[in-house]
Amino acid sequence: MEEDKASALFSPQIPKNPVARAAKERDFLNHLEAYLAKRDGVDKLLKISRYASKIILASSVLPETLSLTRRLKSFESSVGVSRKAFRLGKFVQDLNALRNATFDSNEERILSVIAYGGEGLYYFVEQFVWFAKSGLIDSKYLSRLQKVSAWAEFIGYFGSIALKTRDLKKIIEEEACLESQIEIAISRGHGYDKEAEQIHKLADKRLMKKLSIVQDFADGLMALADIRDGKGMLSSPLLIASGGLLSALIRSVSNIVFIEDQRVIQMCFVTPISCDTSAPAEAWALVTEFITVEQGKEKKTLVGKMISYFVGAKE
């Protein structure tokens, strides 16, 4: 069954080529290697481990007197400090995102400054939190640094949720417009294959956007708990740990999707393969279209076209 699905996705011209065969198999270890080679991949793996441990500890499944409980507490604390090392220099990505962004309105500009500025400040301060926890700077500054970090993170998520909510509304409006076009095409007896593919693409985009908003809500809830020092409503250890685990899992899924896109592009350009150099414009057109479209049926079709072109061009 899996082989039939793979053969439907990729061109039948290429089964003997090792590059194409690797693409069809989608080997788990290759995916894992690419995932762990990225800073965010290792960070999210640590985050999953940390909050899974927190859930076990907060649920009181293990007795306090058990030696395993003490080990889990030590492990959770150690992983929490280790994760901060992965924030070194990460604020630069927010600076670049803000610098390279294009804005359609003043509202979008303000929300982008709040989102990227808040997250960038959070990552910047987190470096000094790590320095304090590792003993490089005096720990007397730790409490104040953590408070500034939590506020910056919370403000950043507020802006991020606002931006993504705007994007989600635009996606829903585009879907409604396409549905209207399909209804008109049906009433007139015309084809609507292109609109149907766009609907599938927008549906996938809408799902990923919703998951991203849920992730930001979960992370924002944790930041709020840090601001309130774990006191008050919505700050129970089990709820916060569950939110952290949910956030890490959602982010991991989006990272895996992104790595798959990059892997296909690398297969076509970095791996030495036989390519028809007489038509470079067609090759670049395929890759450009692949990068710009969203996940879904249209992207899968492009994967097949790219592999057929680059690997089978000489056949």
In this structure, are residues 109 and 89 in contact, taking their beta carbons and an 8 Å threshold?
no
pLDDT string in tens for the chain (315-residue length): 444 434 443 334 434 444 444 444 456 777 777 777 888 888 889 999 999 999 999 888 888 888 888 999 999 999 999 898 888 889 999 999 988 888 888 999 999 999 999 999 999 999 999 999 988 888 889 999 999 999 999 999 999 999 999 999 999 999 999 999 888 888 888 888 888 888 888 998 899 999 999 999 999 999 999 999 888 777 888 999 999 999 999 988 887 766 555 555 555 554 443 344 444 455 555 555 555 554 444 554 555 555 554 444 434
In this structure, are residues 129 and 151 in contact, taking their beta carbons and an 8 Å threshold?
no
State how far the Cα of 127 lies from the Cα of 105, in Å rounded to an integer.
33
Q: Running DSSP on this structure, what letter comes out for residue 190?
A: -
> Considering its fold, how many domains does the chain have in total?
2
Q: Is residue 60 part of a domain?
A: no
What pLDDT is attached to residue 273?
39
- Tell me: do 177 and 280 sit in the same domain: no
What pLDDT is attached to residue 254?
80
- Tell me: do 172 and 308 sit in the same domain: no
State how far the Cα of 211 lies from the Cα of 219, in Å rounded to an integer.
12
Which of these three, 216, 235, 254, is where a domain ends? 235
Q: What separation in angstroms does the CA of 281 have from each of 41, 267, 276?
A: 34, 18, 11
Note down the domain range covering 104: 88-235
- Tell me: do 310 and 207 sit in the same domain: no
CA angle at residue 251 from 245 to 264, to 5 degrees? Answer: 145
Q: What is the dihedral of CA 309, 312, 314, 315, to 10 degrees?
A: -140
149: nearest Cα among 170, 169, 128, 135: 128
**Longest distance between any two alpha carbons in the chain, whole Å:** 75
Q: Is residue 49 part of a domain?
A: no
Q: Which helix (H) or strand (E) holds 167?
A: helix 142-188
What pLDDT is attached to residue 193?
85
Q: Which helix (H) or strand (E) holds 39?
A: helix 39-58
Q: Tell me how far apart the terminal alpha carbons of the chain are, to the nearest angstrom.
A: 28
Which of these three, 207, 235, 263, is where a domain ends? 235
- Tell me: do 219 and 132 sit in the same domain: yes
Write the DSSP string, 244-300.
Answer: HHHHHHHHHHHHHHHHHHHHHHHHHHTS-----TT-HHHHHHHHHHHHHS-SSHHHH
State how far the Cα of 79 lies from the Cα of 54, in Å rounded to an integer.
11
Listed in sequence order, the residues at least 6 apart from 298 whose beta carbon sits closer than 8 Å to its beta carbon are 197, 198, 200, 201
- Tell me: do 171 and 299 sit in the same domain: no
Global confidence as pTM: 0.72
In this structure, are residues 50 and 240 in contact, taking their beta carbons and an 8 Å threshold?
no
State how far the Cα of 192 lies from the Cα of 182, in Å rounded to an integer.
6
What pLDDT is attached to residue 262?
57
- Tell me: do 101 and 210 sit in the same domain: yes
- Tell me: do 145 and 229 sit in the same domain: yes
- Tell me: do 19 and 152 sit in the same domain: no
- Tell me: do 92 and 26 sit in the same domain: no
State how far the Cα of 9 lies from the Cα of 31, in Å rounded to an integer.
19
Q: Is residue 219 part of a domain?
A: yes
In this structure, are residues 81 and 48 in contact, taking their beta carbons and an 8 Å threshold?
no
Which of these three, 215, 235, 255, is where a domain ends? 235
Amino acid identity for residue 139 in this structure: S
What pLDDT is attached to residue 276?
41
Q: Is residue 82 part of a domain?
A: no
